[in-house]
A and B are shown apart, each in its own frame.
Chain A
């Protein structure tokens, strides 16, 4: 299963917004509305922050939002905060299984 393509790193200043892209194919991202996003702080387990392309689990800040167009999904973080500095991974359903994105390191300047 080839990983979905994400930018290696994205940075922004506190209060700004950033967007992370996740590009796949019609067999994964483009074929299902089953894209989720995970946040992982160093030394910690991943945590789901977006599911079903644009839904937020209870307790997740509304500064996180998701969308999809064709074979590319996007995660937007608005009002960037220091605590948002982490690695972010997209994931999509694919052929009865799942595939992760390559991961994006977010740095808050």
Chain B
């Protein structure tokens, strides 16, 4: 069975950098897409971007382009979401989700990583 496990909660100060991770297991993730979703406190879900493990084809939602970096290490079936300079407005729960290439829905979800940015 496919499982997705995310890294633990983070507390950071504005201006600091951060990289959170999402590791898949239970299948070969070469032909999987990984997606990152933001959920700000009390708000809805927002797609941030998606990446294809096989060739690292990465696509960003316009709202997040230039603000975050999505990457992956396919040798360890792990994807990353990275900030170079955090802002208080980055405080949110971040979920990763994954699906096989060819699917158009996201069937495996991580447990979420809570990122708190506060001075």
Chain A: residues with CB nearer than 8 A to chain B? 1, 3, 32, 34, 36, 38, 40, 45-48, 51-52, 57, 87, 89, 91, 93, 96-103
Contacts and interface: CB of A to CB of B under 8 A. Distances in A.
Interface string B43-61: 0111101100000000111
Interface string B84-104: 000000000001010000011
> Looking at chain B's contact residues, is the secondary structure mostly helix, strand, loop, or mixed?
strand
B44 A48 contact: no
3 closest Cβ pairs, A-B complex: A51-B105, A36-B105, A34-B104
Contact of A48 (B50, B62, B63, B105): B105
Contacts, number: 64
B24 interface: no
Interface in B11-66: 35, 37, 44-47, 49-50, 59-63
Contacts of A36: 104-106
